[in-house]
Structure 1
Amino acid sequence: MPMSYRSGHYSDHHHPHDHGRTPPRRPAPQAARAAAAALDGNGYAIVHAGKQVRFGPVVFWIVVGTIVLLGMWSAATATYFAFRDDVLTRLIARQAEMQYAYEDRIAELRAKVDRTTSRQLLDQEQFDQKLDQIMRRQTALESRATALGAMPDAAATGSVRPPARGAAVEPPASGPLKPSPISDTVIFVAPPDREARLESRTPIIAKPQPNQFAKVQGVDNVLVRLQTSLDSVERRQMAALSAVEDSMESRVRRMRGVFTDLGLDMAQLEAATPRSAIGGPFVPVKLPADAGAFERQLNRINLTRVQMQRLNATLALVPYRKPVVGEVEFTSGFGVRSDPFLGRPAMHTGLDFRAATGDPVRVTANGKVVSSGWMGGYGRMVEVDHGNGLSTRYGHLSEIHVRVGDVVKIGQVIGAVGSTGRSTGPHLHYETRIDGDAVDPQKFLRAGVRLSAG
């Protein structure tokens, strides 16, 4: 019976069990055979699929090294791709951090430049302000110096200075003496756009240009020195003004004391004082609300000066000055004495001043000549009416230089010393009368001495 395909096939592969034989060994797997290598004298041999491949040791190690390098490269590549995002993130963060740091630094530098520029502008502005302040102070000091220069000499007494005997008679000064203005302020030359001039003996200091301000050294020190100098000038001006005020107030008190000592009515005399040709609208004196100490003191001085002017005009009618210059020597006083010709008690109505023939005789107050010529025992005599009942007589003159009706001023020469009339020698007989009655001239002369003492 024919055998089927499966049976035949089965028979090909199926063998009866032979329990007496050793079963055949199965061949090793192909992977094991491929990995097995034997070394002989010529190198390495690799068996794969029943084939044996031989190669030398150099080639073997090259292959091994290549495989190792490929493995490492693969590991590195895998690591790179695994950590690439993290690295990029860190790089970007670092770049941003550096950028922010640079921006912060730039902003800091810019702020520093701005602060420096602002500081320079502020310093320049402060410099200009200080300079403007110095200029304003200088202008004020110059105005004060002008005001001080306009102050009358408080020490002037109005008495006639004695010239040398025989010297030419000088007319009285046309105006009061004036103190010299203070001229030791600081010179400071301002830029062309500023008008300021400070005068002094100190060297000139030029203001630096604004664009060179940062390069100028010691500008603050210069300003400090200028301020110090101006302070010193201001103190001296205040001291000078205080001295003028004290002197003027003292003189006003002494001038008022003259009327008190002589028992004269100052208001009555002032009302009778002749007025010059003056006038104008009345404008009251106003002191600014922001006036400083100097301005207030100057205002007080001006008020005091007005009082002095009125008192001077009134005292000009009071005969308290000496009729002759030089040392005064009385040969006979006022009152009862022995008559030089009769030897009997007699009333002497004046003072006799020893003087040389020809010495000038000066009127002792403003007035008008009411008598001029020969008058009995007076010899050549001049009588001057000073108003308000006051009059003076000048007797025994050798010469007369005025006529009746002449208006005479204090210190004007009206004649010369002589010995005319009832006289025993050259001298001046001087009388002072109130309402026609003779009074002691020494009372007036002593008041004049006290007034001149200050």
Structure 2
Amino acid sequence: MSSRSGHHHEHQRHHHRQDHGRASARRPAAHATSAAATAVASGDGYAIVHAGKQVRFGPVVFWIIVGTIVLLGMWSAATATYFAFRDDVLTRLIARQAEMQYAYEDRIAELRAKVDRTTSRQMLDQEQFDQKLDQIMRRQRTLESRATALGTIPDLGSTGSIKPQGRGDATPSSGSLKPSPISDTVTFVAPPDREARLESRAPLVAKAQPSQFAKAQGLDNEIVRLQTSLDQVERRQMAALSSVEEGIDSKVRRMRGVISDLGLNTAQLEAATPRGGMGGPFVPVKLAPDAGPFERQIYRININRAQMQRLNQTLAQVPYRKPVVGEVEFTSGFGVRSDPFLGRPAMHTGLDFRASTGDPVRVTANGKVVSAGWAGGYGRMVEVDHGNGLSTRYGHLSEIKVKVGEYVKIGQVIGEVGSTGRSTGPHLHYETRIDGEAVDPQRFLRAGVRLSAG
């Protein structure tokens, strides 16, 4: 009974397990239809069961798939981390980039400032160089115009010479002006080196182009050298101008002094001086308000030169020159002497010049011939009226070369030395008269020496 009971129980458990197995089989099947595939491991690999279907994978493929899934997860995590922190990274990168950009910009600005300073300095140097060069060229043009102005001042030539003389003979060093107490000529001369001093020796600055840039120290030195040269030229010009002015002033004073010493009236002489045809509107001489020392000195020189020219024209009517050229010797002076024929005291109204027959006799001042012929004791005689009461007589001539009424100029030959009339031998009897009264000709001849001394 017990065995049947046990067998019965065993049989019930078997049926229960089968029923349980079928129920279990039904439940997974039902579950598999609604759930995902299930991987089942076995000794040969791995299987994925889905909807009653089963796919087997080998170990290598399985782990490749797992590794791929892991890598994708890590990549997703890294991507998520990047996106989480990229703002900070970008901010740092932008800040660094901006810092580098600012540094470059600062450096560029510094270099640009240096370039600007260098350019400004170069432009300033070039401007200064151009200004200096322009100043030098203006000074050169000024000095050239001054040289031209000085060149227009003529040599203070003779007031009328008996014997024309060259420039070399007119210098004080020639030694031929005063072979005797009475001079041949009255010559006004400029300083011997006048031509050299009036010449503009300014260097040719025009060769230097104003656009050249003063980079080298040599250009600055050259500018200084040019300025020094121009200063020397200017000093020489001012010295020459001062010398000319002093010479003119001195001659004007001497000329006025000579006229006064001769007892002549300057105003009357000037009024009696014959003048050629002249005319034109009156244009007063004006000095610019901004005129410098050079222009003022030129103005004074022109005024004094005009006075000197007027005095020269006046003195051209005064017989202070010698009637014969070369060295002279008086055989008889003016005043009381023993008469050569009678041996008694007598008045000699002129000077007797030793000369040879045929030597030329020259008029000593401008004038008009009022007598030309035989005149008693004078023999052949020429008398010239110089105006304002002045006249001269030339006696004992062997030949007369002018006619009455003819106008003669200083130094013109009016006759030849002879021994006509009351004469003991060839010589020239020369007289000077004021208002018809004979005066000592040596007064006038000494005045000529005084004038020629300058």
TM-score between both structures, scaled by the size of structure 1: 0.71
- Spell out the pairing of 1:29-428 with structure 2 (5 A cutoff): 95-154=97-156, 156=158, 158-161=160-163, 179-180=194-195, 182-188=198-204, 190=206, 206-208=207-209, 210=211, 213=213, 218-428=218-428
Give me the whole-angstrom Cα distance separating, in 1, the residues matched to 2:160 and 2:245: 18
Structure number with greater CO (CA < 8 Å, separation at least 6) is: 2
Give me the whole-angstrom Cα distance separating, in 1, the residues matched to 2:439 and 2:142: 53
**Amino acid aligned to 1:185:** R
**Amino acid aligned to 2:105:** E
| Structure 2 partner of 1:452 | 452
| Structure 1 partner of 2:71 | none
| Structure 2 partner of 1:62 | none
| Structure 2 partner of 1:54 | none
Give me the whole-angstrom Cα distance separating, in 2, the residues matched to 1:314 and 1:157: 9
**Amino acid aligned to 2:419:** S
Deviations 1:64-101 (A, max 9, x none): xxxxxxxxxxxxxx9xx99x95x877765554444333
- Spell out the pairing of 1:426-437 with structure 2 (5 A cutoff): 426-437=426-437
Structure 1, unpaired ranges of 5+: 1-77, 164-171, 191-205
1:396–1:427 Cα contact (<8 Å) kept? yes
Distance 1:241 1:214, change over 3 A: closer
1:162–1:326 Cα contact (<8 Å) kept? no
Distance 1:247 1:158, change over 3 A: farther
Give me the whole-angstrom Cα distance separating, in 1, the residues matched to 2:354 and 2:383: 20
Distance 1:409 1:224, change over 3 A: same
Structure 2, unpaired ranges of 5+: 1-80, 166-183
Distance 1:295 1:281, change over 3 A: same
**Amino acid aligned to 2:119:** T
Give me the whole-angstrom Cα distance separating, in 1, the residues matched to 2:421 and 2:445: 25
**What secondary structure sits across from 2:195 in the alignment?**
coil
Deviations 1:14-70 (A, max 9, x none): xxxxxxxxxxxxxxxxxxxxxxxxxxxxxxxxxxxxxxxxxxxxxxxxxxxxxxxxx
| Structure 2 partner of 1:14 | none
1:318–1:386 Cα contact (<8 Å) kept? yes
1:154–1:244 Cα contact (<8 Å) kept? no
**Amino acid aligned to 1:344:** R
Distance 1:157 1:402, change over 3 A: closer
**What secondary structure sits across from 1:218 in the alignment?**
helix
**Amino acid aligned to 1:140:** T
Give me the whole-angstrom Cα distance separating, in 2, the residues matched to 1:247 and 1:232: 22
1:417–1:428 Cα contact (<8 Å) kept? yes
TM-score between both structures, scaled by the size of structure 2: 0.71
**Amino acid aligned to 2:122:** Q
Give me the whole-angstrom Cα distance separating, in 2, the residues matched to 1:271 and 1:324: 29
Give me the whole-angstrom Cα distance separating, in 2, the residues matched to 1:95 and 1:415: 118
Aligned length: 351
